[in-house]
Structure 1
Amino acid sequence: MPHPQMKVRAVIFDLDETLIEEETSNDASAVTAADIAVARHGVDRVALLTALRMRSRELFLSGPMIDYCRDIGISAREALWGSFTGDDSSVVQLRNWMPTYRMHSWTGALEEVGIDDPALAAELAEFFAIDRSRRHVVFAESEQVLHELKKKFRLALITNGAPDIQGTKIDGSNLASFFETIIISGDHGFGKPDLRIFQLALERLKVAPHEAVMIGDSLNRDIAGARDAGIGTIWINRYKRTLSVSHPVPDIELTDLRDLPKLLIPAH
């Protein structure tokens, strides 16, 4: 069944898992770091990575900065590599907690597979942070689609997260030049699905809600937030997730970005 076309003046994009690969980049860096432990101690790589994911998440959720991280949109895995630069008191607190968080995450993961080696934990923590900060994979169709849309529409980017992390991703993926405005939640103290971040984008683009469409992979943040702001929604469901009755229903669902230029018509 063909998708309906939408008449808009502006297209607002999410970043992670919409334009760039987030989880696969995290996985690749974690595997590369884990291989150091495999070479050193012959540990089971899968077991170590499973332990790292569980231990880091546990520490993150019970840590002192969980409320701030939820508000801004910082994940447990991002906390393993971000620099968290800036003078905001919450960012300073987060930055000060990071060495402890990372050390305990890697120490705990190694202990889970029978290795008591704090020096190795410190080495892996540093290696992962450096490797992940350099790894930026753009989905195959992203640049071409943005290039086509930029000819006809005003483009914006709204992304949740810490300014240095999201800024590193944007710079590393070379996508900044496509957008008239880029809004990072950590710069403002609130993130998607908060209405204010969508309203800020509309103000900067000088368009009404019905003249814009939000493109994103998160039903709860991108789709629900944009819908509440009166903005049209297109859900990018790359991993073929199933909608439940509790999920917000997008106007259109796509498995990638390729069909976007055909579905969007300039409104004059």
Structure 2
Amino acid sequence: MNKEISLVFDIDDTLYSQMEPLLTACEFSLGRALPDPELFYRIFGKRSAEMFLFSESGQVSIHESRLYRIENTMKDMGIPFTREQAEVFQARYKENQSHLHVSDTLAGMLDTCQEAGVKMGVITNGPFAHQVQKFHTLGLDKWFTEDQLIVSAGVGVAKPDVQIFRIAEEKWGMNPANTYMVGDSLENDITGAKNAGWKTIWMNHHRYTVSPGMAELDYIAYTEEELRKLVEKLI
């Protein structure tokens, strides 16, 4: 066992699959299946990141940002979508998020880390109350205390800003040279952590390609089982 290693996890689309609750909410509001679910997911992720910045800066309310992201996603896909449908989508998506869970595979991985005494933490971007509620809904309090959770809105800085990683180092007593960031966002989680001098594990279950000039990646996991095996090997 490597007692020096520390593991820090993202939440959304890392410790649970974000795609299923999104797709079911979208198809419910549309009344039909999406023509290209993977394209929808990618555009929605881009639009979510954009609107997150607007809501963080106070330019729009959190609720408005959530409506705009789905409306703009549908516009990008050329699918007619009304404000009423956006409201229906958001209500159903919120309902779906109340039933989130960590898979057996990832639960087993976290059990192993906890039993091995690995120092762990969670860093997530988003509104404070919303992300804390999600943390408890997922049952992450089995493996982490709230003191092991950093929410961007709670510290006034978000990934990929290096400062949020520095806050984690100080708060949890982690050595950047031995700390791994595990996340799905190449920009927020991986590039941000690399810029902070951390090691990284990219949870790339959507099999995105890496742009030329990107910093060298330490590890990539394409499935939860690959992530479990990799983490258990590292610790």
Match of 1:153 in 2: 118
Q: What is the CA–CA distance in structure 2 between the aligned matches of 1:238 and 1:99, rounded to whole Å?
A: 24
Would you say 1:68 and 2:68 are equivalent positions?
no
- CA drift of 1:56 comes to 8.5
Measured in 2, the distance between the counterparts of 1:262 and 1:189 equals 33
Q: Amino acid of the residue matched to residue 201 of structure 2?
A: I
Query: Which residue is 2:9 aligned to?
Result: 13
Once the two structures are superposed, the pairs formed by residues 6-85 of structure 1 within 5 Å of their partners are: 8-35=4-31, 44-46=32-34, 67-69=53-55
Please list, as runs of the form range in 1=range in 2, the aligned pairs for 1:105-120 lying within 5 A after superposition. Answer: none
Q: Distance in 1 between matches of 2:160 and 2:47?
A: 25
Confirm whether residue 178 of structure 1 aligns to residue 146 of structure 2. no
Match for residue 258 of structure 1? 228
Q: Provide Cα deviations, 1:142-181, integer angstroms capped at 9, x if missing partner.
A: 1110110112211100011112332232121111231251
CA distance in 1, matches of 2:33, 2:135: 30
Alignment of 1:210-221 (within 5 A): 210-221=177-188
CA contact (8 A) 2:21 2:97 kept: no
Do structure 1's residue 128 and structure 2's residue 95 form an aligned pair? no
Q: Distance in 2 between matches of 1:28 and 1:127?
A: 12
- Report the CA distance between 1:58 and its aligned residue: 11
Please tell me whether the aligned partners of residues 159 and 166 of structure 1 are also in contact (alpha carbons under 8 angstroms). Answer: yes
Give the 3 Å change call, closer, same or farther, for CA 61–19 of structure 1 in structure 2: closer
Distance 1:103 1:24 in 2: 15
Contact 2:98–2:137 (8 Å) recurs in 1: yes
Tell me, yes or no, if the aligned pair for 2:109 and 2:232 is still in contact at 8 Å. no
1:215 and 1:104 map into 2 onto residues whose CA distance is 30
The one-letter amino acid paired with 1:90 is G
**3-state SS of the aligned residue for 1:248?**
coil
SS in 2 for 1:213: strand
Letter in 2 for 1:21: S
Distance apart, 1:194 and its partner CA: 0.7
Show the counterpart of 1:224. Answer: 191
| Higher CA-based Rg | 1
Match of 1:142 among 106, 110, 121: 106
One-letter amino acid matched to 1:29: A
Corresponding residue SS for 1:138: coil
Q: CA 1:197–1:143 in 2, change beyond 3 Å: closer, same or farther?
A: same
Question: How many residues of Structure 1 are paired with residues of Structure 2 in the alignment?
Answer: 227
Is structure 2 residue 203 aligned with structure 1 residue 236?
yes
Q: In the TM superposition, what is the alpha-carbon distance from 1:245 to its structure 2 partner?
A: 1.4
Distance 1:225 1:56, change over 3 A: closer
Output the amino acid matched with 1:131: E
2:166 maps to 199
CA gap of 1:212–1:126, structure 2 versus 1, over 3 A, is closer
CA RMSD of aligned residues (A): 4.0
Deviations 1:31-60 (A, max 9, x none): 23333xxxxxxxx5437x99x99x989998
TM-score normalised by the chain length of structure 1: 0.67
**TM-score, length of structure 2 as denominator length:** 0.75
Provide closer, same or farther for how the CA distance between residues 15 and 98 of structure 1 changes in structure 2, counting only shifts above 3 A. closer
Distance between the aligned counterparts of 1:130 and 1:45, measured in 2? Answer: 19
How far 1:224 moved relative to its partner?
1.2
The Cα of 1:187 is off from its aligned counterpart by 1.2
